[in-house]
Amino acid sequence: MKDQDAKTLSNTQRAVRDLRQMILSGELAAGTDHLESELAETLGMSRTPIREAALMLESKGLLEMRPRKGVRILPVSSDDMREIYDILTELESLAAQRAAEAGYCEDELAVLAGSIAKMDQAIEAEDLEAWAEADELFHQELVRLGGNKRVEAIVAMMSDQVRRARATTLFIRPLPVKSNEDHRVVFQAISEGRPDAARERHREHRLQAQAMLCGILEKHRLNSL
């Protein structure tokens, strides 16, 4: 672990990983500013790798570098959420379609099936954190099965941008029972090789998630997560 950390990874890569983690966990709160030198000290390295990491995270939409004002952790508004979910809807639906077209066999779909099982258990136990984790796995695996690396990268990027918001909304939203039902139907369509069904059902699934989430954000006036 520490080996991997110190040996194979460059400081720049560690900085990317650690800063990302700190942003997703909220340790670096949305909307806050941080000097390059502060971050450098925090992570125990010089400004150079910090700058390089910040540049990368900037192009991933997690922060913004503003001369003299420091690195700003970007907040996510409900408008941002709409933009992001629009993209997730389109690209994940495509992935679902492609996955269905690919004609995967049962054990190639094992991870996807597993994630659904985990979500069911989590709902049973009313463990929202576990559900969220399994949900994330489902979407990630779905996109992987879609077989388009660029889609995978874009979806991962968009997911990062909303992860903070999910932590907040998770406990406000209704129990995601309907969501699980959707996942099952999408899975069925994929395993039976029905591309149109997979695509359409997943699309509806995402549109509903978007409406629900944006609804909550606006209702609670949560405008910079």
Partner DNA sequence: GCATTTATTTGCGTATACATTAAAGAATGC
Partner DNA sequence: GCATTCTTTAATGTATACGCAAATAAATGC
Residue 169 site contact among DNA, its own copies, none (CB < 5 to 8 Å, cut-off depends on kind) = none
Closer Cβ to its own copies, 87 or 167, answer by number: 87
Residue 51 touches its own copies, criterion: CB under 8 A: yes
Dihedral angle of Cα 21, 23, 27, 28, to the nearest 10 degrees = 140
**For its own copies, the closer CB: 183 or 199:** 199
Nearer to its own copies, 94 or 170 (CB): 94
From 127-135, 143-151, 163-171, 190-198, give the range in contact with its own copies by CB under 8 A: 143-151
Binding at 196: pick from its own copies, DNA, none (beta carbon under 5-8 Å per type): none
Contact between 37 and its own copies (CB under 8 A)? no
Per CB under 8 A, the list member of 7, 68, 150, 221 interacting with its own copies is 150
**Residues that contact its own copies, how many (by CB under 8 A):** 23
Q: Please give the full DSSP string across the chain, using - where no structure is assigned.
A: -HHIIIIIS-HHHHHHHHHHHHHHHTSS-TT-EE-HHHHHHHHTS-HHHHHHHHHHHHHTTSEEEETTTEEEEPP--HHHHHHHHHHHHHHHHHHHHHHHHHT--GGGGHHHHHHHHHHHHHHHTT-HHHHHHHHHHHHHHHHHHHT-HHHHHHHHHHHHHHHHHHHHHTTTSPP-HHHHHHHHHHHHHHHTT-HHHHHHHHHHHHHHHHHHHHHHHHHTT----
- Looking at 103-111, 144-152, 186-194, 216-224, which segment touches its own copies (CB under 8 A)? 144-152
Q: Does 102 bind its own copies (CB under 8 A)?
A: no
Shortest distance, CB of residue 50 to DNA, whole angstroms?
8
Stretch binding its own copies (CB under 8 A), from 55-63, 176-184, 186-194, 205-213: 55-63
Q: Which does 193 bind (CB under 5 to 8 A by kind): its own copies, DNA, none?
A: none
